[in-house]
Amino acid sequence: MPKMTATSLDVCIVAIPETAGSALYGMKDVLMATGNIWQTLSRKEQQQTPFNVHIVSNRREMFFCGNNIPIQPDSDFHHLADSPDIVILPELWLGPDEPLTGRYPELIAWIKTQHAKGAYIYSACSGAIMLAETGLLDACDATSHWGYQDLFRKHYPKVRFKPEPNLAFADTAGKIVTAGGTTSWHDLAIYIISKHFSPAEAVRIAQVYLLKWHDEGQLPYHTLLRNNPHSDHLVAECENALKRHYKNGHALQLTLQQANIPERTLKRRFKSATGLTLIDYLQNIRIEAAKRQLEQTQLPVDDISFEIGYEDASFFRRLFKRKTGLTPSQYRRMFKPIIHAAD
């Protein structure tokens, strides 16, 4: 067992039935290993662990979270002896249109109280949805998995949602920090260890657990094509036309001709239904097609550019970097090995 000291920070990781077990237990394991696991592996004297980590919920009884993983809370938040120094809201299993509105009013109130008492509040991935319920993110920058950006815009419009970064800071003091995608708890754990204990120890923990700091953010992992349900049949036909003709350099003009309504009207209806302009939608189709080529083939970048409808390869490279945060060559180096991992 790690050695605790009087100066160890009390950390509460919040668990509810919607919690993702991997994020919950992974975060607890990494924080509890701080100060001792690297020292053990390198045969050096263990330090005092800086974190006293508890799993808390609205009840003490065991329950099952996502994927039927059992959780045994260390305490319920009603009966904590002391206020925590840090509160962590891990990833939740929620659909892209599933807010937490009205589900856990006592827990939401408890989180707000801890913040008012000076606790640091951190969320990973969709844990930011619970944090948004508190109102503490209103008028602040925040991030979560990019798949929840529509949910935030619809249900939490006061939050300045940023789908790009791995970490977003709601205030300059760093009292509220949200982390991005599903494994963003890695980044959050590294940040917490660095801020509250030691940057050197954060590096050692990253080395032991093979944790990667996602300085490239979420853009490389972001799918640019998402199904946004709407009832405009003409717009749906235009979407299908763009998907059919995207390789054609005149795809946009062909789609406008097929619609057979004034161009300004179509552009207005398309943006209203999809949230994107026609040109953005076409560019997203082409960039997603380029990603598949980069992942699965050895085609030169210039050939891929021509294949997806761009004769100007320099323009394609600039567009790809803007949409994904990486150059085509960087993207290929990141993802192509995954395709061939089992070869």
pLDDT at 159: 97
**Residue ranges per domain, the chain?**
9-218, 233-339
In what helix (H) or strand (E) does residue 70 lie, and over which residues does it extend? Answer: strand 69-71
Do 78 and 124 form a contact (C-beta atoms < 8 A)?
no
pLDDT at 222: 85
Exposure of 227 in the CB half-sphere (CA atoms within 13 A): 5
C-alpha–C-alpha distance, residues 152 and 159, integer Å: 7
pLDDT at 264: 94
Of 12, 127, 128, which Cα lies nearest the Cα of 73?
A: 12
pLDDT at 49: 85
C-alpha–C-alpha distance, residues 175 and 155, integer Å: 23
CATH code: domain 233-339 is: 1.10.10.60
pLDDT tens digits for 59-85? 999 999 988 999 999 999 988 888 999
The residues that bridge with 19 in the sheet, in sequence order, are: 92
C-alpha–C-alpha distance, residues 136 and 167, integer Å: 16
C-alpha–C-alpha distance, residues 65 and 58, integer Å: 13
- This prediction has a pTM of 0.87
DSSP string covering 45-66: PPPPPSEEEEEEES-SS-EEEG
pLDDT at 1: 44
Report, as ranges of residue numbers, the positions in the chain whose pLDDT lies below 70.
Answer: 1-6
Architecture of 9-218 per CATH? Answer: 3-Layer(aba) Sandwich (3.40)
The residues that bridge with 339 in the sheet, in sequence order, are: none
pLDDT at 2: 47
